[in-house]
């Protein structure tokens, strides 16, 4: 399933966002998998609460980081697609 | 920053005891008895040390880890320490109350093994009457309790004809992920190789089926596929590289670079508690022996892929060539590769049916 503006992303069961103190970096923990995140990826994942749409997430992050919304939306959609394909996020 | 990056995962083999007797068990032929197992305080201490070292995931394994009455406490301790807890289980000893206690303790993921799709054949393979149907009852509860759910289908010559039904079964059980794992020939599986080795025709049919079902199912149920080494041409990146990602603690507290490492003669394993875990990981002799690329022979030493597959599996190199530092014979560049292929075909055609069951 492809991600759209209206998709409402949520972490799949057994997937958790966490801060790795040993490596001083945000990580996504999943069954038998660890995904190292950068700050932008972490900020997107933090917004995936199963209530907000991809469009709303982009609006919020654009405001928070004072970035053009169109650019942020492209990044958000691409990253959510990647997370969905990796079975980390349900849409 | 030290020279050796910290491990990501810890395999905690709590016990070698198991009610099942699968002939492909990855445990060593010489298993440890209950009296040699370590207590709760030992595992608490190890979990704390592992978390401080940078371990992020713990895999509770065995033997059958649910035989340990302290399993819920160990899971809770790991969760408190920030470790993601995975459970690798046969599920035959669980019931709803026990499973709920594990979920409440913070367990994130349950992996349940299946021996087949046909109850009679599955129970024959595990040598445990009624086991298959018990597994199904527990497997259905895992997603209901909010945990991620993997079905691990171990396949070989005597159950590959059931693979289409095994995939459907995993779907009907609500699995998030299905791992279809051809038997890896270490431990008991090596002893039973002639009874387990698939034919090339079976191997090719399985590949085609998996490819088709993957395309059809997509993210609905992810399928991970472990190919049988003896028919492969490219070695696996065993353990993500020796001493690079994972450490394994045996029931008696010895720290191993992989669960089969004790088959390699001459390796000396440190014990948790006698030295700091960080010291064992960074400088322990067993980890240093095959870490990196300095130990490699040709054709590995000059290979462009040596930092991708790290020379493949050391235990397999030993089992086939007699030399643990040789190139994994799975690799098409190994001088022993053709011999390995021929051995597989010959054993598969001979059609040995009887298993030597795993017993302590």
Q: How far is B48 from chain A (nearest CA, A)?
A: 13
- pLDDT tens string B23-80: 999 999 989 999 999 999 999 999 999 999 999 999 999 999 999 999 999 999 999 9
| Residues of chain A above pLDDT 70, percent | 99
d(CA B111, CA B87): 6
- Does residue B79 have a cis bond before it (omega within 30 degrees)? no
Q: Decide: B110 and B61 in contact? Cβ < 8 Å.
A: no
Which of B12, B111, B176, B239 to mutate to test binding with chain A, by most A CBs within 10 Å of its CB? Answer: B176
Q: Which pLDDT value is given to residue B2?
A: 57
- pLDDT tens string B304-343: 999 999 999 999 999 999 999 999 999 999 999 999 999 9
- pLDDT tens string B168-196: 999 999 999 999 999 999 989 999 999 99
0.90 surpassed by pTM? yes
| Residues of chain B above pLDDT 70, percent | 99
Of A14, A27, A84, the CB nearest to B219: A84
Q: How far is B148 from chain A (nearest CA, A)?
A: 5
Q: Do B146 and A32 touch (CB under 8 A)?
A: no
- pLDDT tens string B126-171: 999 999 999 999 999 999 999 999 999 999 999 999 999 999 999 9
Buried b / exposed e over B293-325, threshold 16 CB at 10 Å, is eebbeeebeebeebeebbbbbbbbbbbbbeebb
Q: How far is B219 from chain A (nearest CA, A)?
A: 6
With a threshold of 0.85, tell me whether the complex ipTM lies above it: yes
Q: Is B75 helix (H, G, I), strand (E, B) or coil?
A: helix
Query: A18 and chain B: CB distance < 8 Å anywhere?
Result: yes
Residue B209, H or E segment: helix B200-217
Q: Decide: B107 and B75 in contact? Cβ < 8 Å.
A: yes
Position A1 pLDDT exceeds 80: no
Q: Is B316 helix (H, G, I), strand (E, B) or coil?
A: helix
- What are the domain boundaries of chain A? 10-86
Out of B120-124, B185-189, B343-347, give the one with best mean pLDDT. B120-124
- pLDDT tens string A34-47: 999 999 999 999 99
Position B1 pLDDT exceeds 90: no
Of A1, A13, A18, the CB nearest to B147: A13
d(CA B144, CA B167): 20
Q: Which pLDDT value is given to residue B220?
A: 86
Position A2 pLDDT exceeds 90: no
Q: What is the DSSP string of B92-155?
A: TT--HHHHHHHHHTT--EEEEEES-SSHHHHHHHHT-TTHHHHHHHHHHHHHHTT-EEEEEEEE
Q: What is the DSSP string of B14-30?
A: --S--S---TT--S-SS
Chain A residues in contact with B53 (beta carbon < 8 A): 22
> What CATH topology corresponds to A10-86?
Arc Repressor Mutant, subunit A (1.10.10)
Closest chain A CA to residue B84? A29
d(CA B247, CA B50): 10
Q: A27: phi > 0 → left, psi -120 to 50 → alpha, else beta; which?
A: beta
């Amino acid at each position: 399933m492809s991600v759209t503006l209206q998709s409402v992303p949520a972490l799949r069961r057994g997937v958790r966002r966490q801060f790795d103190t040993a490596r001083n970096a945000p990580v996504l923990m999943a069954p038998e998998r660890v995904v190292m995140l950068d700050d932008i990826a972490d900020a997107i994942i933090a917004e995936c609460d199963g209530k907000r749409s991809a469009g709303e997430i982009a609006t919020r992050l654009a405001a928070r980081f004072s970035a053009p919304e169109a650019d942020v939306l492209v990044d958000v959609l691409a990253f959510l697609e990647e997370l969905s394909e990796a079975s980390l996020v349900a849409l | 920053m030290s020279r050796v990056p910290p491990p990501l995962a810890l395999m905690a083999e709590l016990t070698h005891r198991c009610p099942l007797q699968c002939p492909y068990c990855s445990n060593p032929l010489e298993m440890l008895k209950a009296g040699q197992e370590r207590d709760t305080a030992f595992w608490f201490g190890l979990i704390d040390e592992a978390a401080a070292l940078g371990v992020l995931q713990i895999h509770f394994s065995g033997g059958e880890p649910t035989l340990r009455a302290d399993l819920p406490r160990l899971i809770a301790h790991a969760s408190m320490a920030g470790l993601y807890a995975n459970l690798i289980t046969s599920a035959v000893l669980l019931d709803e109350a026990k499973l709920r206690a594990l979920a409440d303790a913070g367990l994130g993921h349950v992996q349940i093994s299946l021996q087949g799709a046909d109850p009679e054949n599955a129970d024959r393979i595990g040598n445990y009457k009624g086991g298959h149907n018990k597994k199904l009852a527990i497997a259905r509860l895992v997603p209901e309790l909010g945990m991620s759910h993997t079905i691990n289908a171990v396949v070989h010559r005597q159950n590959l004809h059931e693979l289409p039904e095994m995939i459907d079964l995993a779907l009907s059980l609500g699995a998030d992920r299905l791992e279809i794992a051809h038997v890896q020939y270490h431990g008991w599986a090596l002893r039973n190789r002639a009874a387990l080795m698939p034919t090339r025709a079976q191997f090719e049919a399985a590949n085609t089926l998996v490819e088709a079902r993957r395309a059809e199912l997509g993210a609905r149920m992810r399928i991970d596929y472990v190919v049988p080494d003896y028919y492969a041409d490219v070695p696996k990146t065993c353990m993500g590289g020796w001493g690079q990602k994972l450490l394994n603690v045996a029931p008696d507290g010895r720290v191993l670079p992989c669960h089969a490492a004790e088959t390699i003669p001459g390796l000396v394993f440190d014990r948790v508690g006698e030295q700091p875990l960080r010291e064992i990981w960074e400088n322990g002799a067993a980890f240093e022996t095959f870490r990196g690329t300095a130990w490699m022979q040709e054709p590995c030493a000059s290979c462009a892929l040596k930092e991708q597959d790290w020379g493949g599996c050391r235990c397999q190199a030993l089992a086939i060539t007699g030399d643990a530092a040789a190139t994994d014979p799975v690799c098409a560049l190994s001088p022993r590769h053709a011999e390995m292929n021929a051995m597989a075909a010959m054993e598969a055609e001979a059609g040995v049916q009887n298993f030597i069951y795993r017993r302590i």
